[in-house]
């Protein structure tokens, strides 16, 4: 089955990951092709899944905020696959379509408060290569967030740094659910990347 620049097996061929795949599909609304690629390496998918669960199940910052961070980081890196996933994930986490579609204008938009602007400043800066994060980003973050929350913010950025590289390098094909979300909900709102 071709889901990227290399062929991989189908979901049904990875019976040992059925429970994991069902959990992911329930959480995201679909099973990402990226997981099918990772499933070729049992140690990798188990480690990645554990890291992802640790980051996304942490209660230090809410799910919508994590998705905005992931979206900004993915936009900054240019990963279309992760942009579609995180935009869809943000909407599933309660972020409005209007806010998602205006994220590139966050610094001038009244849709985003100062707290969100501070974390998006870091997410956009650190998603680029070379990394553009500075001490000033963290000085601003400390006005709104605890050290534990800042660690979670950077954890989301770092997780998507891996995913952005993984999916862009493999040319991972975007699944129907996030692709349709972009076509039906974001593009009509003026979505641009």
- Encode burial over 123-133: b for 16+ CB neighbours within 10 A, e otherwise: bbbbbeeeeeb
Residue 5 lies in a domain: no
Residue 155 lies in a domain: yes
Residue 1 lies in a domain: no
Q: How many domains does the chain have?
A: 1
Reading the chain (193 residues) residue by residue, the pLDDT tens digits are 668 888 888 999 999 999 999 999 999 999 999 999 999 999 999 999 999 999 999 999 999 999 999 999 999 999 999 999 999 999 999 999 999 999 999 999 999 999 999 999 999 999 998 999 999 999 999 999 999 999 999 999 999 999 999 999 999 999 999 999 999 998 888 887 6
- How much is the pTM? 0.94
Residue 149 lies in a domain: yes
Residue 83 lies in a domain: yes
End-to-end CA distance of the chain: 29
What gap in Å lies between CA 128 and CA 133, rounded to an integer? 9
Q: What CATH number is given to the structural domain containing 40?
A: 1.20.1290.10
Residue 3 lies in a domain: no
Domain that holds residue 86: 11-189
What gap in Å lies between CA 181 and CA 112, rounded to an integer? 22
């Amino acid at each position: 089955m071709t889901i990227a620049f290399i062929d991989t097996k189908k979901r049904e061929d990875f019976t040992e990951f059925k429970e994991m795949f069902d959990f992911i599909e329930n959480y995201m609304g679909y099973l990402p092709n990226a997981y099918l690629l990772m499933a070729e390496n049992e140690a990798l998918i188990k480690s990645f899944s554990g890291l992802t669960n640790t980051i996304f199940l942490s209660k230090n910052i809410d799910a919508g905020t994590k998705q905005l961070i992931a979206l900004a980081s993915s936009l900054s890196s240019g990963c279309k696959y992760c942009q579609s996933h995180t935009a869809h994930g943000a909407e599933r986490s309660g972020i409005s379509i209007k806010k998602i579609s205006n994220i590139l204008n966050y610094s001038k938009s009244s849709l985003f408060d100062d707290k969100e602007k501070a974390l998006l400043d870091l997410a956009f800066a650190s998603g680029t290569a070379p990394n553009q994060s500075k001490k000033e980003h963290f000085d601003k973050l400390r006005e709104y967030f605890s050290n534990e929350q800042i660690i979670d913010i950077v954890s989301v950025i770092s997780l998507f740094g891996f995913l952005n590289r993984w999916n862009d390098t493999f040319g991972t094909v975007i699944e129907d659910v996030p692709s349709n979300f972009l076509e039906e909900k974001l593009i009509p709102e003026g979505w641009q990347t």
